[in-house]
Amino acid sequence: MSIVIRCLNDSKSFTTVEEYWVQFLDIVDTSGLGLFMHLKNALVNLELDIDDIRGQRYDNGSNMKGRHKGVQKRLLEMNPRAFYTPCGCHSLNLALCDMANCCPKAISFFRVIQQIYTLFSSFTKRWKIFKDHVKGLTVKPLSQTRWESHVESVKTIKEQIAQIRDALYDLTNDSEDPKTKSEAESLALYELENFEFLLEGIVLFLEEFREDGYDKAMVEAKEMACEMGIEAVFREKHVIRRKKQFGESNSEEVIQSAAESFRIYYFLFIIDQARSSMKARFEQFQKYEETFGFLFNLERLQRADDETLLRSCKNLENYLTHKGCSDINEDDLFS
């Protein structure tokens, strides 16, 4: 485990925020208690006062962030001003992971992208076929720990899908291996020439919310389908019928089209999962916003009335108090 300390250096004419790598710790016991004891002993050996800590930051491993037995909880029990903040990058990474694994269509979409990369990158001859057809971005593998890599993987397919399809057809004709021929043909014919696959990729790029994002994705997917000579229709697999409730007329029947099913069970599903994950993963940031937030926005600070400002200063003083001592004085801060 590595220890990095961030501190304020006020030894100069102006205060600066500085970071120092301190040391590596050889860890045997990776439980929350074991990691905490290693950290505590290291700080004592370095003659650093645990009461001086004002923040601790780890990834989202349960042994680190655990609310009951994690390192952050055990340190907070010793010093409640050692505010824990989960790594923002890792939290966002997990939110994206939640989205990509929330429904079968999303899982299938990324499986196809990985298959395309594996197929072409396995042999230099296949890679040459790919480069002969695709002159721009190259296909990239997926990473479970760096989900921003998925954006690059999707971008390659999204912007060059027609050329990649042609490369797959060329590989089908050039390869003598029956398995390779079958896999390349299946990817070209049943995946890349599938209108739903085009739309799935565009949905994953959306930043708009559920109200208007779907219509924009449909327009772009139809443009891509037109360029590739693909009919912009959904493949009807089976009719989904709503179960009738007691007393409903037998003649009344609700039929859900494949397009509507895609919108509900893929697009809306992913958008709702994104909103839910972001709220849950960044819950801690919201808590700190409620305590420190009045200091973050100068315009809002200037508009605050005296009663609201004094209440915010008092709340912050209480938050920064431990063993009868506070980092700030509410009246001084209010002034």
Q: What is the pLDDT of residues 321-330, one digit of tens each?
A: 998 899 999 9
pLDDT grade for 95, boundaries at 50, 70 and 90: confident
- Amino acid in the structure at residue 160: Q
CA distances from 72 to 24, 36, 79, 278, 312 (A): 19, 8, 10, 21, 26
Q: Residue written as tokens 């009719």?
A: 239
pLDDT of 236 over the 90 cut: no
Question: Do 203 and 270 contact (CB within 8 A), yes or no?
Answer: yes
Computed over every residue of the chain, the mean pLDDT equals 83
- What pLDDT, on the 0 to 100 scale, is given for residue 242? 61
Closest CA to 129 of 179, 159, 163: 163
pLDDT of 19 over the 80 cut: yes
- What pLDDT, on the 0 to 100 scale, is given for residue 202? 59
pLDDT grade for 238, boundaries at 50, 70 and 90: low
Weakest-pLDDT range from 32-46, 108-122, 183-197: 183-197
Query: DSSP state, 53?
Result: -
- What pLDDT, on the 0 to 100 scale, is given for residue 206? 42
Weakest-pLDDT range from 119-128, 164-173, 250-259: 250-259
- What pLDDT, on the 0 to 100 scale, is given for residue 245? 65
- Amino acid in the structure at residue 235: R
Instruction: Specify the long-range contacts of residues 202-209, CB closer than 8 Å, at least 24 apart.
Output: 202/158, 203/266, 203/267, 203/270, 204/99, 204/100, 204/106, 204/109, 204/150, 204/154, 204/270, 205/151, 205/154, 205/158, 206/271, 209/271
- What pLDDT, on the 0 to 100 scale, is given for residue 207? 45
- Alpha-carbon distance of 293 to 273, in angstroms, equals 27
Closest CA to 266 of 321, 214, 331: 214
Residue 327 backbone phi and psi in degrees, to 5: -70, -25
pLDDT grade for 247, boundaries at 50, 70 and 90: low
Question: Do 239 and 261 contact (CB within 8 A), yes or no?
Answer: no
Which tokens in the block code for residue 216? 């924009």
